Amino acid sequence: MQSIVSLCKRRGFVYQSSEIYGGLKSAYDYGPMGVELKRNLMNEWWTSMVHSREDVVGLDASIIMHPNVWKASGHLSSFSDPLVDCKVCGERFRADKAPKAEEGADAPMELPDKGKAKAALDKLEKMGEAGLTRNGKSILGAKAGDRGYVCSVCGSPFLSEERQFNLMFRSSLGPVDPMGAAADKIKAVLNEQGPEALQASLRKILEDAVQSTAVYLRPETAQAMFVNFLNVQQSLSMKVPFGIAQMGKSFRNEVTVEHFIFRSCEFEQMEMEYFVQPGTSEKWLEHWSQARMDWWQKIGLSKDKLRLRAHESDELAHYSPATNDVEYLFPWGWDELEGVASRTDYDLTAHTNASKKKLQYFDPEATNPETGKKGWRYLPHVIEPAAGATRGLLAALCDAYAEEPGDEQGKGARTVLRLHPRLAPIKAGILPLVKKEGMPEVARRIADDFFKAGVTAKYDEQHAIGKRYARHDEVGTPYCLTVDGDTAKDETVTIRYRDDRRQERIKVTEALEVVKKALADA
């Protein structure tokens, strides 16, 4: 994984955000190669989900929606992680992700250095914890409690109570100054009722002030599809079953950020809500689970590193009778790439109740199961394939990354990104063998043809040809076109294929078409 992270920085895929200021935890910037790769991946998804189907249409909704959306969807009350503070090292961590430890088992603690261990032992003794000893930077003699876990950083069993922490980012809308309103209220309580009354109501005053203008950055793109269900259905006369697709940024104040861009606070999703007739969900869940597995393979992920895993009953969201995860074998093990969930009519019911707007669909052809007559008005059920675009990008990089050892002497060793050609940031490297004898001019003309056709290409004349091939292999350029001494004689160039380094001569005039065809056939 470390090699992939370092390639990402070296070759301009992903940088740590605000790096010159020490970086911001869990925030990343996509560099010149990364932005192309991400766009290519998302465009492939859009083409497959929207442009290639007549039953799915697109949406691009605002990131900030009415706060009642999140109230109705349940995100305000229950989109939270259980958090615990360690009383020894001060770490705040997710209880459900902490290392497991059976009650009564030894719970040795390890601090960063001797001094910190000594200070921690003093603190524990002051807290009344007896029978503990220090050995270097370790503290021994503690036992795990009935929580079933210990601190994820130092291993301590001395922990605060669990608290629920909402994952949505809160902001305020409009020119109102919530802090000013809070300050006025605090002054009034202080003057009229005194400091004791203030102590009892301080939290509520602050919460009320912030809440009056509170809006949230969306934690998923899905809700916009539910609240726009009727708009889309009516404006395009869509017939059930049909889907609404959206891709874009989502935000979660994740407590545990992990594995580079795998889990971050700002990320991109590609989600589709497929509205179906009640009673047909099982069939559509099967359909979309398979379709999504096929798509990940089509864009180049290895078949043996993908699997479909049905959620156990204790993992299922309370509204979902069945959910399948598309999992990928990341360097740290199998992990979620996409969830395909059967969501019943939970969301449309929640928004109907909260908005008092009927979100029903009328199907004149269907037989109403209650009356036995033609014409059925119902709330559609939903199948939701919800994928992570930034997580998909990481999977594509992991799958494509290879270090080839070369021959016995190491000759021919290289690092190569075997990205699917349509995902590759640069489709063709255009390389004059040397910077003389008219080669740069011909190479420039070929590059111009590519630019005019909108096929991403890079004219590259710096360094020896071997170095240039190596550079293009590292960013995953599938084809390199080299103009050499023979070009002037027979109007041909060499096309070099990234994966097997095979080289062929093709006509200069056909170069663009050869690359376009290879991309279309890939």
Summarize as ranges the residues that interact with ligand GAP (CB under 6 A).
220, 222, 252, 254, 263-264, 267, 269, 271, 336-339, 384, 386-388, 390-391
Give the alpha-carbon dihedral of 239, 242, 248, 251, to 10 degrees. Answer: 110
Closest to ligand GAP by CB, 95 or 132: 95
Alpha helix (H) ranges present in 141-254? 178-193, 195-211, 222-227, 229-235
Closer Cβ to ligand GAP, 159 or 306, answer by number: 306
Q: How far is the CB of 336 from ligand GAP (least distance, A)?
A: 5
d(CA 229, CA 384): 14
CB of 395 to ligand GAP, least distance (A): 9
Residue 87 DSSP code: T
Closer to ligand GAP at the Cβ: 157 or 339? 339
Distance of closest approach, residue 325 Cβ to ligand GAP, in angstroms: 7
Nearest-approach distance from CB 69 to ligand GAP, in angstroms: 13
- Which residue's CB atom is positioned nearest to ligand GAP? 388
Nearer to ligand GAP, 124 or 396 (CB): 396
Contact call for residues 361 and 367 (beta carbons, < 8 A)? no
Pick 305 or 471: Cβ nearer ligand GAP: 305
Report the interhelical angle of 389-400 vs 2-10 (nearest 10°).
Answer: 100
285 or 387: whose CB is closer to ligand GAP?
A: 387
Give every CB contact of residue 324 below 8 A, 6+ residues apart in sequence: 285, 289, 308, 309, 310, 311, 339, 340
- Contact yes or no for 110/134 (Cβ under 8 A): no
446 neighbors 483 (Cβ within 8 angstroms): yes
Dist. CA 458–CA 475, nearest whole Å: 12
With respect to ligand GAP, which residue has the nearer C-beta, 381 or 468?
381
For residue 334, what are its two tokens? 């199998």
Strands 92-94 and 163-166 turn out to be unpaired
